Chain A
């Protein structure tokens, strides 16, 4: 049996498209996008995005990494999944948006970090208590980002409180050590992926 002897050049560095696909669990089908605009048309916050999801996908293919990761688009995704169930090519749009968020956090390219900080605050709360609690989330988040609006939020928090719908203290799960061991291991795996 003859063997292929052609010169094999060193593998080129992964494209941005490849890296987005690799960082997303399961298939993305990003390469199947036909640019029809169903996602951009369906998106509830589409009018407020820098780029419609469709444009983001074209930009990913064009290798426009900085522009993509600096865009507000993934942060304005509300996870409503309309785009994903309507996409005629079954592109995993919402999953890709999550990937872009985590890549943007790492790259530090998105100017308005409100969304990123919300997520970070949430994550640190979960890592401290195992559960989230809205009061802590809202105050920490708002005092940092929108101190003026924090007043509005404080009133609402007060309303929730008086109606017995808000606690001021977090519930902590019993086996916090176990959860942290699991999350630490997952973080290691995330880095190596």
Chain B
């Protein structure tokens, strides 16, 4: 068992729930023990630094300081979200490089009774841990259902491979580790030219037209290369490519249907886990059809909204119940 201090990040608990579920499902197979960093806070994504630089480093450093308190048998802090990973790794790097910045940040942390010595923890991304610590051989040994015949486009996105502040990935342009993991679990890996291009990040929120074009490029390239699905390692990438795909189709008059799954989900399938346990079926662009090709049956997810938790002192009255919403397909047929 290798132990890691786990920094889940906000998305893993929400839109990237299937990523978290599938990771937790396969952690034993990979002999990984995850200990959550206690009371971690948001890393600030790509937004906090746009408002305040010092604040952004302080925000991130609180996580580093909290993780440092938990160092016991391991100093590896692992994140699965690309932006979380980069924010933590880059901050630790800059604090190591710039003693003046480190002093300022420790002044800020001091106001909360915390302190962080730069370099105390070692920030790593799940992909690199799986590739280097778990290793292809152990992965191979766990495969009971090779994903034969499944054509996957490995998609890395940006922030895991660039700027690579600790030189862990060493190939910012054409990384191969995810390719090799996918090959090891039996998938047919396509040479995906846009594997490290941008998913549009936060542009969906700022200028959807710009974002749609970036998303289209990736889906177009994967479709062109004959991929059955794209496989990713970042919540933001998955959300943009999956949730906005129908918007992209509408915007450009295209009809792409490119499922986008997390690499942990595919590893889980290869390791013989149940599709539901791996969060399969929660994606917008359904992977049912392509997974059926290799004999995996993904059950339909019940489309039932989870009711909002009601606050104790909420005086509002309940809303009247509404008839079940029809699927968009039926809508189209009726018009």
Q: Name A residues whose Cβ lies closer than 8 Å to a Cβ of B.
A: 23-26, 44-45, 48, 74-76, 78-82, 84-85, 94, 98-99, 101-102, 105, 114-116, 118-120, 122-123, 126, 130-135, 137-138, 141-142, 146, 149, 152, 156, 158-169, 171, 173-175, 177-179, 181-187, 189-190, 193
Contact = CB atoms under 8 A, between A and B. Distances in A.
23 contacts: A45-B210, A76-B206, A80-B162, A82-B158, A85-B172, A98-B50, A101-B49, A102-B49, A102-B51, A114-B206, A115-B50, A120-B51, A123-B48, A126-B41, A126-B44, A137-B205, A161-B305, A164-B306, A167-B13, A169-B308, A181-B111, A182-B109, A185-B111
Contacts of B147: none
B303 interface: yes
B334 interface: no
Complex A-B, nearest 6 residue pairs according to Cβ-Cβ distance, in ascending order:
A186-B58, A81-B162, A185-B111, A122-B47, A101-B50, A178-B112
Contacts of A152: 247
A94 B163 contact: yes
A78 B214 contact: yes
Interface of B: 10-11, 13-18, 39-42, 44-55, 57-59, 62, 83, 94, 97-98, 101, 104-105, 107-114, 158-159, 162-164, 172-173, 197-198, 200-203, 205-208, 210, 214, 243-244, 247, 281-284, 301, 303-306, 308-309, 311, 325
Nearest to A180: B112
Contact of B159 (A45, A79, A115, A118): A79
B24 to A, nearest CB: 15
Contacts of B210: 45, 48, 76
A102 B53 contact: yes
Given A26-B98, A165-B17, A130 B42 contact: yes
B203 A76 contact: yes
A175 B163 CA distance: 32
A146 B205 CA distance: 10
A101 B51 CA distance: 7
A105 B51 CA distance: 7
Given A132-B42, A184-B111, A189-B54, A80 B49 contact: no
The majority secondary structure among interface residues of chain B is: loop
B54 A186 contact: yes
Contacts of B14: 133-135, 165-167
Contact of A78 (B49, B107, B201): B201
B50 A116 contact: yes
B39 A175 contact: yes
Nearest to A84: B163
A105 B50 contact: yes
B51 A78 contact: no
Contacts of A182: 58-59, 62, 108-109, 111-112, 114
Given A114-B207, A174-B39, A178-B112, A123 B13 contact: no
A149 to B, nearest CB: 7
A164 B17 contact: yes
B59 A183 contact: yes
A178 B114 contact: yes
A179 B207 contact: no
Nearest to B246: A156
Contacts of A131: 10, 41-42
Contacts of B243: 156, 159-160
Contacts of B303: 162-163
A84 B58 contact: no
A166 B11 CA distance: 9
